[in-house]
């Protein structure tokens, strides 16, 4: 279980730094057409939308990692939240933040 804790903590730190470093990508797009062309502005708006969605997904992943760390601390880690059976070690190694066994995930 200690190796899962280290793995989860490392992933959490990496995600936190990614979220912080990507903040500027989601800034408001300049709407003044005299400064940039219409196509450049549309491209900037598309990049902004993708950056916002990427940040949303990263924050969701961060919450999953934090929840897995809490389950580790409370002793509930490795048990399916749907059927309360053990989650296979192979599945946990692939995704230590998973909350369901393979049977319940289907």
Mean pLDDT of 48-72: 94
pLDDT band at 52 (very low <50, low <70, confident <90, very high): confident
With bands split at pLDDT 50, 70 and 90, how would you rate the model's confidence at 2? confident
C-alpha–C-alpha distance, residues 57 and 54, integer Å = 5
pLDDT at 36 over 70: no
CA distance linking residue 70 with residue 2, whole number of Å: 13
Choice among 3-12, 19-28, 60-69 with the minimum mean pLDDT? 19-28
Range 37-60 average pLDDT: 86
CA distance 23 to 51: 8
H or E segment at 45?
Answer: helix 38-74
pLDDT at 13: 96
pLDDT recorded at residue 73: 95
**pLDDT category of residue 67 using cuts at 50, 70 and 90:** very high
* Contact of 62 with 16, CB cutoff 8 Å: yes
- Between CA 26 and CA 10 the distance in angstroms is 25
| Cβ atoms of residues 82 and 74 within 8 Å | no
């Amino acid at each position: 279980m200690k190796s899962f804790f280290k793995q989860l903590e490392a992933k959490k730190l990496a995600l936190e730094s990614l979220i912080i470093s990507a903040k500027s990508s989601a800034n408001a797009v300049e709407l003044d057409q005299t400064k940039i062309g219409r196509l450049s502005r549309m491209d900037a708006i598309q990049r902004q939308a993708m950056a916002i969605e990427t940040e949303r997904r990263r924050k969701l992943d961060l919450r999953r990692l934090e929840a897995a760390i809490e389950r580790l601390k409370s002793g509930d880690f490795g048990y399916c939240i749907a059927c309360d059976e053990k989650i296979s070690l192979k599945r946990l190694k692939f995704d230590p933040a998973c909350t369901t066994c393979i049977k319940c995930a289907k």
